[in-house]
Amino acid sequence: MDDLDVTSMMEDLRKRLKPYDDPRKRISNMPENGMGKDDILNHLSQYAESENQPWKLGKVSGAVYHGGDDLLEFLEKVYHIYSQSNPLHPDIWPSLTKMENEIVAMSSGIMNGNEAVRGSVTSGGTESILLAMKTYRDYYRSAKGISNPEIILPTSAHAAFLKACDYFCMKSVFVDLDDSFRVDVEKVKNAITPNTVAIVGSAPSFPYGVMDPIKELSEIAADQNIGMHVDACLGGFIIPWAEKLGYHTGRFDFSLPGVTSISMDTHKYGFGPKGTSVLLYRNSDLFQQQIYANGTWQGGIYFTPTMAGSRPGYPIVAAWAVMMLMGRKGYEESARKILETGKFIKNGIHNIPGIRILGDPLWVIAMASENAGAYRIMDMMGKKGWMLSGLANPPAFHIALTMRQTYPGVKEKFLEDLKASVDEAAKGGKTEAGMAPVYGMASALPEEQVRFFLKNIVEWLYSQ
Return the closest-CA partner of residue 149 out of 159, 157, 161. Answer: 161
Rounded to an integer, what distance in angstroms lies between the CA atom of residue 40 and that of residue 31? 12
Among 61, 85, 120, 126, binds ligand PLP (CB under 6 A): 126
Among 107, 120, 196, 202, binds ligand PLP (CB under 6 A): 202
Q: Cβ 151 to ligand PLP, closest distance in Å?
A: 14
Rounded to an integer, what distance in angstroms lies between the CA atom of residue 250 and that of residue 203? 10
Q: Cβ 144 to ligand PLP, closest distance in Å?
A: 27
When asked if residue 233 is in the footprint of ligand PLP (CB under 6 A), the reply is yes
> Which residue stretch of 102-110, 119-127, 213-221, 446-454 sits at the interface with ligand PLP (rule: CB under 6 A)?
119-127
When asked if residue 164 is in the footprint of ligand PLP (CB under 6 A), the reply is no
- In terms of C-beta distances under 8 Å and separation of at least 24 residues, what long-range contacts does 342-350 make, across chains too? 342/401, 344/411, 345/399, 345/401, 345/405, 345/411, 345/414, 345/415, 348/411, 348/414, 348/415, 348/418, 349/415, 349/418
- Site residues for ligand PLP, 263-282, by CB under 6 A, read 265, 277
Please say which residue, 206 or 439, places its beta carbon nearer to ligand PLP.
Answer: 206
Omega of the bond prior to 394 within 30 degrees of 0, cis?
Answer: yes
| Torsion on CA atoms 100, 288, 255, 207, rounded to nearest 10 | 80
Could you give the string, one character per residue 236-265, with x where binding to ligand PLP holds by CB under 6 A and - elsewhere? -----------------------------x
End-to-end CA distance of the chain: 27
Please say which residue, 44 or 392, places its beta carbon nearer to ligand PLP.
Answer: 392
Q: Cβ 136 to ligand PLP, closest distance in Å?
A: 16
Other Cβ atoms within 10 Å of 439 Cβ, number? 22
Q: Cβ 140 to ligand PLP, closest distance in Å?
A: 22
Q: In this structure, what DSSP letter does residue 354 have?
A: T
Q: Cβ 271 to ligand PLP, closest distance in Å?
A: 14
When asked if residue 234 is in the footprint of ligand PLP (CB under 6 A), the reply is yes
When asked if residue 212 is in the footprint of ligand PLP (CB under 6 A), the reply is no
Angle in degrees, CA 410, 415, 416, rounded to 5: 95
> Which residue stretch of 30-38, 124-132, 304-312, 429-437 sits at the interface with ligand PLP (rule: CB under 6 A)?
124-132
Q: Cβ 420 to ligand PLP, closest distance in Å?
A: 28
**Pair 96, 85: CB distance under 8 Å:** yes
When asked if residue 154 is in the footprint of ligand PLP (CB under 6 A), the reply is no
**Residue numbers at the binding site for ligand PLP (CB under 6 A):** 124-126, 129, 158, 160, 202, 206, 231, 233-234, 265, 277
